Amino acid sequence: MWADGVGTVPIRSASAAALRAVNERYRFGFHEGELARLRAYYRREGREPTDVELAGLAQSWSEHCSYKSSRPILRAHFGALPKLPRVLGTGDAGVMAFEPGWAYALRIESHNHPSAVEPYGGAATGIGGILRDVLAVGGQPVALADPLFFGPPETPPGEIPAGVKSPRYLRGGVVAGVRDYGNRVGVPTVSGGIYYDPAYVVNPLVNVGCVGLLPRGRLQRNRARAAGDRLVLTGGRTGRDGLGGVAFASQELTSRSEEESRGAVQLGNPILKEPLIHACLDAYDRGLVRGVKDLGGGGLASASGELVHAGGFGSEIDLDRVPRREAGLAPWEIWISESQERMLLAVRPADLDRVLGIFGKHDVPAVDIGRVVAGDRERLSFAGRPAADLSLPFRIDPPPVRRPRRAPPRPPRSPPDRGPLPESPAALLQEMLLAPDSVSREPILRMYDHEVQGRTVVKPLHGRVTSPSHGDAAVIRPRRESPRGLAVTVAAQPWSCAIDPEGGARAVVEEAARNLYAVGARPDAFSDCLNFGNPEDPVVMGQLDRVVRGLAAGARALGVAIPSGNVSLYNGGLGRGIPPTPVLLAVGIVPDVGRAVTSDLKEEGDPLYLLGATSPNLGGSLYARRRGAVGPLPPTDPAALRRWGERLLAAIRHDEVRAAHDISDGGIAVTLGEMAFGGSVGFDVDLAATGLADPARALVAEGGSRIVVEVARDGEAGFRRRFRGLPAVRLGTVGGGPGLFHVGTRPVAELDVAATYARWRGG
């Protein structure tokens, strides 16, 4: 009955042990209960499954594709957020209103496991995948971001388990992968971050975010619209790379991941992606595409199944028509291969030739592989004979898994965290600025093309061209015709989330918002990447629940939308888990990019202000991490941040602000240090203004959601009026050679700006 090359897998009368053996042999990754469900389905159907069917089912039932563990939690918290009218779409990427006639798209996702075994290819195809998500909603990619988490580069070889690659090697490979893919495809990498912790030695995290631009009329839907429409597969040829990638992503890493799963890592080709983007946009612009889906995890099986099922249809697909890179691919391999640079389009039969012509002009292969049909069956054929005949609701929608959750331990409340620190403020100032977590990211940023497309108005490095320093967010001007801009940043605080998942998540939201306010942007939308451990561990599920609750609460208080996101579970292995690591890609609206603010100090004599309430708590801070200390987190109050953040935007609009920089890792020591570096100028600051008695603690305390602002002298009176009744204190002034910290009249630490800058910058 079945086509040559299609195997049947007898499961109807198989014992549990025999089912497990099948599962192992094909590396399907079905769980025990799912195997029983499969057996029951085929008993009802009165036949045995084909290997093509089982392979497809394994994709869509995987954690990676189905969100079966996380869905109930996401629904409970994100689902309860108010519906904001500026959210235009929540498909493969979120789509937000930008300005009349225009929208922007955003999404972040993980490519953790592939990057652990093959850092270069894993990171590159991570970029490739996130570009396709934005392309699948009609967006032209205009910015990339890459928050990365590794073990400390100085980890001694003896502390790296067998089968695990060294953090230094992983970092080098990942950065090169992001560089080569992003640069070649012509999308600027404008934001990101590198975070180090021993918890990421076994399982590094490679998250990649993308922002796209689209005229509102080009918004694409990720579902089929009408029976009879043709299914056109475009882009790269299909090969054996990336087989079983989603199953690989849905289990923990082992010492044998390298040998067993290297084949699950795809091969990227940015030089095919670049014209694929052009051709898709061209076809969208002419109104020729009725539904589109990118081929990522689960390959054609996931893309075609989700595309037609979301529209309430079935499909007929001839696997033999799929262009292949090599001979001898079995039909099930064609079905689930995760070969890169492919998109699936649904087009009217009458438009088929025009669509094929557009792709031909761009030298991008495009083939009609089947059609959308009425009903809910998925019928595949190969060499003219059937290869699969399945109910799509059964295949695509596995029941959610109610996993047990255990509430995380209560965050520590006592002893009170306020005594004097043992170190001298001068030593702490140097230590915080020169820690691997703080030093200049210039060596990496210079390898990423952050200028391509000519839209980057506030670059990832701020300040004088001779002394560039860190800022809080990049600003792009998507359209030359309009002064409106998008600020793009990322935020993560795994250490805070490890202490208190919910409070830590709120702190991540606040950090993202501060980064945006600091450049003069109103926080508009977040995309969240939730990197967690094994969901079969109730503690992990408890963490996930609290983190999502915290993110939702923060977003609600700030009025920010979360139109897209990604969940990555099973991070960890070899007995090591990761801390709960929610990562935000955050986008804000800058009404006029010409008013955007950078972090570098501008002019001697300008007053410096501290916005926000200081907390003495050091939990989760860079200082506490370096001492191996765990303590209570500083309190969060996103609603209060929003109140004074809005005032800051008004002050920026009225040209009262010359520089601004948020306080995060390393406290005010790092914030003021980086501001001085960028301007090559000193400052004079009274730490008593923080309200903390101990100057050492005042230097390294991070909490309380704060921003340091340089106010224009002629704008100070207006600025003070604007902040009356809000947490804003005068810290001191810009100017002089060194950076001087004192308490009252007593000097406590001095920063030699030029000398420390040279060490911070490296080289």
Could you give the string, one character per residue 129-168, with x where binding to another protein holds by CB under 8 A and - elsewhere?
----------------------------------------
The H or E element that residue 133 is part of is helix 119-135
User: Could you say which of 165, 218, 230, 450 contacts another protein (CB under 8 A)?
Assistant: 450
**For 609-684, where are the alpha helices, taking DSSP H only?**
622-626, 638-653, 667-679
**Least distance in angstroms from the C-beta of 593 to another protein:** 6
What is the C-alpha to C-alpha distance for residues 65 and 299, in angstroms, rounded to an integer? 11
Residue pair 753/680 in contact (Cβ under 8 Å)? The answer is: yes
Stretch that binds another protein, among 12-20, 353-361, 726-734, 739-747 (CB under 8 A): 353-361
What is the C-alpha to C-alpha distance for residues 104 and 562, in angstroms, rounded to an integer? 13
User: Could you say which of 4, 451, 604, 646 contacts another protein (CB under 8 A)?
Assistant: 451
Residue pair 213/478 in contact (Cβ under 8 Å)? The answer is: yes
User: Could you say which of 85, 384, 465, 745 contacts another protein (CB under 8 A)?
Assistant: 465
**Least distance in angstroms from the C-beta of 352 to another protein:** 15
The DSSP code sequence of 523-544 is: EEEEEEEEE-S-TTSHHHHHHH
Token readout for 714 is 């002629």
User: Could you say which of 8, 155, 166, 183 contacts another protein (CB under 8 A)?
Assistant: 183
- The 10 Å Cβ neighbour count of residue 457 is 17
User: Could you say which of 80, 226, 271, 374 contacts another protein (CB under 8 A)?
Assistant: 271
Q: Of 384-443, which residues contact another protein (CB under 8 A)?
A: none
User: Could you say which of 712, 740, 748, 751 contacts another protein (CB under 8 A)?
Assistant: 712
Q: Whose Cβ is closer to another protein: residue 413's or residue 480's?
A: 480
Q: What are phi and psi of 419, to 5 degrees?
A: -65, 175
Query: Is 636 near another protein (CB under 8 A)?
Result: no
What is the C-alpha to C-alpha distance for residues 563 and 545, in angstroms, rounded to an integer? 18
Q: Are strands 366-373 and 474-476 parallel, antiparallel or unpaired?
A: unpaired
What is the C-alpha to C-alpha distance for residues 610 and 214, in angstroms, rounded to an integer? 38
User: Cis bond leading into 415, ω under 30°?
Assistant: yes
Query: Is 461 near another protein (CB under 8 A)?
Result: yes
Query: Is 592 near another protein (CB under 8 A)?
Result: yes
Q: What angle do CA 152, 164, 408 make, to 5 degrees?
A: 65
450 catalytic per annotation: no
Binding residues for another protein, total number by CB under 8 A:
53
Q: Whose Cβ is closer to another protein: residue 429's or residue 593's?
A: 593
Q: Are strands 314-318 and 366-373 parallel, antiparallel or unpaired?
A: antiparallel
Q: What angle do CA 314, 317, 320 make, to 5 degrees?
A: 170
User: Could you say which of 223, 342, 462, 522 contacts another protein (CB under 8 A)?
Assistant: 462
111 catalytic per annotation: yes
**Least distance in angstroms from the C-beta of 323 to another protein:** 17
- The 10 Å Cβ neighbour count of residue 597 is 27
User: Could you say which of 294, 437, 449, 702 contacts another protein (CB under 8 A)?
Assistant: 449
Q: Catalytic: which of 64, 309, 462, 661? A: 64
Q: What angle do CA 8, 11, 15 make, to 5 degrees?
A: 150
Question: Please, what sign has the CA dihedral across residues 219, 225, 228, 234?
Answer: positive
Query: Is 363 near another protein (CB under 8 A)?
Result: yes
Query: Is 453 near another protein (CB under 8 A)?
Result: yes
Q: Are strands 657-662 and 581-590 parallel, antiparallel or unpaired?
A: unpaired
Q: Are strands 94-99 and 87-90 parallel, antiparallel or unpaired?
A: antiparallel
Query: Is 274 near another protein (CB under 8 A)?
Result: yes
User: Could you say which of 84, 434, 447, 754 contacts another protein (CB under 8 A)?
Assistant: 447
Q: Whose Cβ is closer to another protein: residue 202's or residue 590's?
A: 590
Q: Whose Cβ is closer to another protein: residue 463's or residue 554's?
A: 463
User: Could you say which of 20, 216, 377, 595 contacts another protein (CB under 8 A)?
Assistant: 595
**Least distance in angstroms from the C-beta of 762 to another protein:** 13
Interface positions with another protein (CB under 8 A): 179, 183-186, 269-272, 274-275, 357, 360-363, 445-459, 461-466, 468, 477, 480, 592-598, 600, 602, 655, 658, 679, 712
Which sequence positions are flagged as catalytic? 64, 111
